[in-house]
Structure 1
Amino acid sequence: MGNVLVVGAGGVSSVAVHKMAMNPDIFGPIHLASRTKSKCDAIAASVKARFGAEVTTHALDAMDVAATVALIRQTGAEIVVNLALPYQDLVLMDACLEAGVNYLDTANYEPEDEAKFEYSWQWAYQEKFREAGLTAILGSGFDPGVTSVFATWLRKHKLKTIRQIDVLDANGGDNGQAFATNFNPEINLREVLAEARHWEGGEWKTSPAMTHKVEFDFPGVGPKNMYLMYHEELESLSTHFPEIERARFWMTFGDAYITHAKVLENVGMTRIDPVMHDGKEIIPIQFLKTLLPDPSDLGELTKGKACIGDIATGEAADGSGEKTFYIYNICDHEECYAEVGSQAVAYTTGVPAMIGAAMVLKGIWREPGVWNMEQLDPDAFMDMLNTQGLPWQVEELDGPVAF
């Protein structure tokens, strides 16, 4: 068993901690910390009620490196699983280096005052972690995370090279709300409204947000409009698989969601810079977050399925010429809620976070340094997806995507 400290107490954290408790041969003791200890206590109570397992909770300001180091040492954790906000990635990596423990997160760093996310800040820690003999795993969610492992698995078992890859994310769930985000509203809206970028011909191509729309028939979900977006795995995949000629990311949104998001942007509610209101300084998007439904409260209301996967084209491993494969998972919102009290969006991120931590604790992914998921051997991770609630399928398509 491995001693683990989970930082953050949102919906993803709740899933990850529940799933850790379901795998006592790998995880234990489990510690959970957040600025708001009551949120940790609620997760711990749910875990106790469902599985009879104990989770020890702590109050922590994750931006305080000294306090985090002290808690790591107090708990004796072997790995810190960062399920807090991406603004906190670097300070938690600093704390892990000082305390001498391994690190894992689900989303790359972005500055709080700039709508920009990229891996350069975290990749700069490569030598620090290598020299310390510690492992840092970046992006162990679903996208990024599983989608990168899918690509590596295809490249290991089906394709010699990947010429082009499309990551497709469809949420066919309905929660009955007029407008609600599937994960942290602040992070979600910053991501959705950012300029779209994709990798093609050795350079980044840009386009305005939400302007390139394609209908696609998703397995288990049906036809949905998906939009071209930028997502962090495009950066790491195009870096670590240099043969890729084109890499794109697509996510589905309903017309009502797009309308709400654009209106909120137009009236300034998605601004991330401070403004004065009634003599006090506020950040509009953070105020908006307090008004919107908490994604972690929507599990019981959400019906339907999600489908996330990769379509990759390249030279076949068996020498039979160029082939295209579609590898994906279908996840049911109601089944997720029945198991761990969460909707599928949090489930598809929290389960891979647990599996990534398991890979480190079991010594399968233990090479010192900072690693993206596609750099690591995929097989054991893929096996655990099948046994831990995210079974995957792979099928050969007639040819490359036409969109």
Structure 2
Amino acid sequence: MSKVLVIGAGGVSSVCVHKMAMNPDIFSDIHLASRTRAKCDAIARSVKERTGQTVSTYEIDAEEVPALTRLIEQIGPRLVVNLALPYQDLPIMDACLAAGVDYLDTANYEPKDEAKFEYKWQWAYHDRFKEKGLMALLGSGFDPGVTSVFAMWLKKHKLKTIRQLDILDCNGGDHGQAFATNFNPEINIREVTAPARHWEGGRFVETPAMSKKVAFDFDQVGPKNMYMMYHEELESLARFLPELERARFWMTFGDAYITHLTVLQNVGMTRIDPVLYQGKEIVPLQFLAAVLPKPETLGPTTKGKTNIGDIATGEALDGSGEKTFYIYNICDHEDAYAETGNQAISYTTGVPAMIGAAMMLTGKWQGDGVFNMEEMDPDPFMDMLNTHGLPWQVHELPAPVDF
């Protein structure tokens, strides 16, 4: 019996749980918990209707370590899959240590009061997990996650070294809303408004948020403006690819999104520090997130495709000189919704979460301690991407990209 506990009940969780239920040979007993049990129940009903599988649901505050520890001990899962908010990572890891259970997440820790996400807090847990004979797998989403696995697959099969790496994240979908984020609004806006950082010359170089824009023609999507920003896989890639001379992350945004975000930032609605309103403290960004459309409600109206991948340049494995490869996935919003009831942004994160969990439960990825995706064999993960809804393709480019 492969019993698993998933924490969190947003769009990513919905996709992950649906895909787990579609693979009962690996996930034979699925449990789902979040702060709002009604959200868990809604996912469980959808899973039952689509797959016939039963999902048990619970209400829990993931930041309450003793209560979460008791719940984990009560359920007795082999693995806890954390699909809650990034600032809940450490409490959930603490509960896993206390209960003696393996851990997986899709995004690294970020303090509530500072828009700065780094791996240092979670890497510091390595010895504690190792001493208990437990495994923690970090960042098993798409970016981070698949983008790191893409890079390591290229290094294993195409390139002896990776000198330059660009990660390109394009959402060509249209949800019909004036302004909405395709994943958690609070996390999305914190990421976008933070200063950009890229790896170059052995260090991170910081530039103002959204200050570098270039156009790129994406396969099956078309030309889009993309902006350089910081993303956490740059930190782990720089650590596990020591030969990297430059690594950058790019994400596409439409003009309307940029206009709305600029206005919201100018009037203070993206602030993450508390303000006093009618005698009570509120965080403007959290209030904004409460009034924006929920990402999990965008599925029925979202049309178009995503295109996410890596462009890597380095010394060819076969000794034929320097080569550049572009490896990417294209995901259709309407296809994702038809299968799981969620749009492609949730799908492209939820499916890799399921695959990472499958890697751990089947023993294809194992170890004692805290691990990043770059440390694992990319081949079995890449195989499951092809067979579980996120097929990838790789092409050699005639020359390195020059943005």
When normalised by structure 1's length, the TM-score is 0.99
Percent identity for Structure 1 against Structure 2: 74
Q: Give 1:153 deviation, angstroms.
A: 0.3
Deviation at 1:203, TM superposition (A): 1.3
The residue number in structure 2 matching 1:91 is 91
Summarize deviations over 1:23-51 as a string: whole Å, max 9, x none. 00000210000010000000000000111
Alignment pair present for 1:353 and 2:353? yes
Q: CA deviation at 1:80?
A: 0.4
SS in 2 for 1:152: helix
Q: CA shift at 1:258, angstroms?
A: 0.6
Offset, 1:205: 1.1
Q: How far apart, in 1, do the equivalents of 2:125 and 2:220 lie?
A: 40
SS at 1:80 equivalent = strand
3-state SS of paired residue (2:168): strand
Cα distance, 1:401 vs. partner?
A: 0.4
* 1:204 to partner: Cα distance: 1.1
Q: Write the distance in 1 (CA, Å) between the matches of 2:97 and 2:280.
A: 38
Runs of 4+ in 1 over 3 A off after TM superposition: none
2:223 counterpart letter in structure 1: P
| Post-superposition offset of 1:399 | 1.2
Q: Distance in 2 between matches of 1:133 and 1:163?
A: 35
1:177 aligns with 2:181: no
Partner of 1:113: 113
Matches for 1:38-117 after TM superposition, within 5 Å:
38-117=38-117
Amino acid at match of 2:88: Q
CA distance in 2, matches of 1:206, 1:73: 44
5 Å-filtered alignment, 1:375-394, equals 375-394=375-394
- 1:141 corresponds to: 141
Query: 1:297 matched to which residue of 2?
Result: 297
Q: Distance in 2 between matches of 1:79 and 1:71?
A: 13
Q: State the one-letter code of the partner of 1:60.
A: I
Matching residue of 2:307: 307
Deviation at 1:86, TM superposition (A): 0.4
- TM-superposed CA distance for 1:356, in Å, is 0.2
| Match status 1:20 vs 2:20 | yes
Matches within 5 A, 1:121-270: 121-270=121-270
SS of equivalent residue, structure 1 residue 27: coil
More divergent stretch after superposition (351-360 vs 125-134): 125-134
Matches of 1:132 and 1:336 in 2, distance apart?
38
2-structure distance, mates of 1:33, 1:174:
31
Q: In structure 2, the residue corresponding to 1:198 is in which secondary structure?
A: strand
Mapped partners of 2:257, 2:326: distance in 1: 27
SS class of match (2:46): helix
Deviation, 1:76, is 1.2
Match of 1:394, SS?
strand
C-alpha separation in 2, matches of 1:28 and 1:276: 48
> Aligned partners of 2:280, 2:88: CA distance in 1, in Å?
25
Q: Deviations over 1:159-186 (max 9, x none)?
A: 0110010000000000100000010000
Q: Please tell me the residue identity of whatever aligns with 1:171.
A: N
Tell me the residue number matched to 1:341: 341
TM-fit CA distance, 1:293: 0.3
Q: Which amino acid aligns with 1:252?
A: T
Provide the C-alpha distance between the structure 2 equivalents of 1:51 and 1:238, rounded to a whole number of angstroms.
Answer: 41
How many angstroms apart in 2 are the aligned matches of 1:245 and 1:77?
A: 42
Counterpart of 1:8 in structure 2 is 8
Per-residue deviation, residues 366-385 of structure 1 (Å, max 9, x unmatched) = 11111110111000000000
Offset of 1:74 from its aligned partner? 1.0
Q: Measure how far apart 1:75 and its partner are.
A: 0.9
Quick one: distance in 2 between partners of 1:325 and 1:248?
A: 15
What SS does the aligned partner of 1:23 have?
Answer: coil
Distance 1:239 1:174 in 2: 36
Distance, in Å, in 2 between the alignment partners of 1:193 and 1:76 is 40
CA distance in 1, matches of 2:246, 2:182: 28
d(CA) in 1 for partners of 2:131 and 2:364?
19
Q: 1:350 and 1:15 mapped to 2: Cα distance?
A: 5
CA distance in 1, matches of 2:90, 2:281: 26
**TM-score, with structure 2 as normaliser:** 0.99
Query: Residue 28 of structure 2: SS of its match in structure 1?
Result: strand
Gaps of 5+ in 1: none
Corresponding residue SS for 1:348: helix
- Corresponding residue for residue 319 of structure 1: 319
Post-superposition shift, 1:108?
A: 0.3
User: What letter is aligned with 2:178?
Assistant: A
Could you tell me how far apart the structure 2 residues matched to 1:218 and 1:391 are?
Answer: 16
